[in-house]
Structure 1
Amino acid sequence: MYESYLTGLIVGGGLIIAIGAQNAYVLSQAIRREYHWWAAGLCMVADITLFTLGMFGISAALMAMPQALEILRWLGVAFLGWLSVQAFLQAGGGRASLKTTETAGRSLKGVLFTTLAVTLLNPQVYLDTLLLIPAVGAQQENTTGFVAGASSASIIWFGLLAWGGSTLAPVLSRPLVWRIIDGAIAVMMATIAIQLAVNGNF
C-alpha cells in the first residue's frame, strides 16, 4: 500500500501543481487574506471528489461526451479572460495597502463561486483526474492507497499555498507590490486563456 500511496502522491502532486489558474487564484486570495482557507479547502474537496469518481469509472461517461469538454473549454477562456481584465484594471488603478487583519473585498459566496469556476471550467482537470489518474491508479496494487496519495498531494499543496500566502501578506502590503502582483496575475490568466483557446488545455 505504501508504494501505491507514494505513486499517487507524486502523480497527483505533479498534476495539481501544473494547473496554473487554480494555484494563482488561491495564492492571490491567501495574500489578500480573503477567505483563503475556504478557497484552499474547496480545491481540496473538489480534487478528492474527482479522484474518487475517476477511479469508480466516471471517466468512461466523460469520454462518451467530448462536446462537454469543448463547452467547458470556451467557458474557461471567457472566465479567465474576465479575471485577467479585472486584474489589469486593479494593476492600473492601484489599490490601498493590504489590510492583513481583516477580510475585505469579496464575500465568502463570491470567493467560493470563483474558486469553483477556476477549478471546474478547466477541461484539463477532468482529463487529469478522471482519465490520467484512473489510468495510473488501475496499475497499482492498492487503488485505495493510490487515491489516498493523490488526495494527500492536494491537501498538502493547497495547504501550503494558503499558509504561505497569508504568512507573506504583511511583507507584500505596499501598493506598489500589489500593482506588480495584480499585473503578474493578469498576464498569467491571459496567457492561460490564450493557451486554452489555442491548444485546448492549460
Structure 2
Amino acid sequence: MLTTPALVAVASGLALGLGLIVAIGAQNAFVLRQGLRLEHVAAVVAVCALSDILLIAAGVLGAGAALSRVPWLIPVVCFAGAAFLLAYGVFAARRAMRPGALLPDAGGVRAGLAATVGTCLALTWLNPHVYLDTVVLLGSMASTYGAHRWEFAAGAAVGSAVWFTGLGFGARLLRPVFARPAAWRVLDATIAVVMVALAVSLAVRGVGEL
C-alpha cells in the first residue's frame, strides 16, 4: 500500500505530466487528426504513451543530466526538429487548401500503418521540447522526491497514457462537427500555423544555443 509521501509523489507527477502534455503541439495535433479520421488510433496512442514512458524513465535514470553536459547536441536537435515541423506544416497547409481531401472518410489515399507510426515517432522523438520537458524537467523534478522518484515517474506516465487515450479515442465524438469540409479546413490551417510557429521557435532556440 502506498504511503502518504508516495501518494504525494504520484499526484505531483500526474499533475506535472498533464501540465506538460496538455497543450497544442505537433504530437497532440497529430493524435487529434488521426482520432478524427479513425486511422490507426490505437497504434498512435500506444506509440505516444510508450514513448513518454521511456522518456520519463530516461529522465529519472539521469539522461537529463547527461544531455545537459553535451551542449552542442541541443542546437542540432533544434534545427532538425524545426525542419521536420516546417515540412509537416506545409503539408497541413496544402491539405487545408484542398477541400476534396478534407472529409474524414474520403479524399486521397489513407496512410498505411507503417507510415502513420513513422510520422508519429518522428513528431515525438525529433521534437526537442520532448527532451527538454519530459527528460530534463521531469527527470529533475523526480530527483527531488528521493526514494519516491519512481512513484513520481509513475504518476507522470499515467497522466500521459490517460491524456493520449482520451484525445485519440475521444476525438470521434467531434466527427459530426468535422463532417463539413470547412471544419477540416480550419483544423488543418490551425495545425499548419502551429507547426510553423513551433518550427520558428525551435530555430530561434537553436541559434541561441550556438
TM-score, length of structure 1 as denominator length: 0.91
Q: Any runs of at least 4 consecutive aligned residues in structure 1 with deviations exceeding 6 A, and if so which?
A: none
Q: Please say if 1:195 is aligned against 2:190.
A: no
Q: Which residue of the partner structure matches residue 65 of structure 2?
A: 60
Name the amino acid aligned to 1:79: F
Percent sequence identity over matched residues? 38
Aligned equivalents of 2:66, 2:143: Cα separation in 1: 17
Q: Which residue of the partner structure matches residue 127 of structure 1?
A: 132
- Give how far 1:68 is off: 2.0
Contact 1:95-1:178 at 8 Å conserved across structures: no
- Give how far 1:146 is off: 0.5
Q: Please say if 1:179 is aligned against 2:188.
A: no
Greater CA drift, 59-68 or 46-55: 59-68
Q: Give the aligned CA root-mean-square deviation in angstroms.
A: 1.8
Contact 2:75-2:205 at 8 Å conserved across structures: no
- Give how far 1:192 is off: 1.2
- Structure 2 spans left out of the alignment, 5+ residues: 1-5
TM-score, length of structure 2 as denominator length: 0.87
Contact 1:84-1:186 at 8 Å conserved across structures: yes
Aligned with 2:85 (options 74, 80, 84): 80
- Give how far 1:67 is off: 2.0
Query: Alpha-carbon deviations, 1:2-24, whole Å to 9, x = none?
Result: 11000000111111124611111
- Structure 1 spans left out of the alignment, 5+ residues: none
- Give how far 1:61 is off: 2.4
Aligned equivalents of 1:19, 1:43: Cα separation in 2: 15
Contact 1:80-1:193 at 8 Å conserved across structures: yes
Query: Alpha-carbon deviations, 1:20-45, whole Å to 9, x = none?
Result: 11111111111111112211210100
Aligned equivalents of 2:122, 2:58: Cα separation in 1: 19
Contact 1:9-1:149 at 8 Å conserved across structures: yes
Q: Please say if 1:69 is aligned against 2:74.
A: yes
Contact 1:9-1:152 at 8 Å conserved across structures: yes
- Give how far 1:62 is off: 1.3
User: What is the SS of the residue equivalent to 1:109?
Assistant: helix
Query: Alpha-carbon deviations, 1:145-164, whole Å to 9, x = none?
Result: 10110001101110111122
Q: Which residue of the partner structure matches residue 99 of structure 1?
A: 105
Aligned equivalents of 1:135, 1:128: Cα separation in 2: 10
Q: Please say if 1:157 is aligned against 2:163.
A: yes
Aligned equivalents of 1:86, 1:135: Cα separation in 2: 36
Contact 2:59-2:140 at 8 Å conserved across structures: no
Aligned equivalents of 1:133, 1:107: Cα separation in 2: 33
Q: Which residue of the partner structure matches residue 14 of structure 1?
A: 19
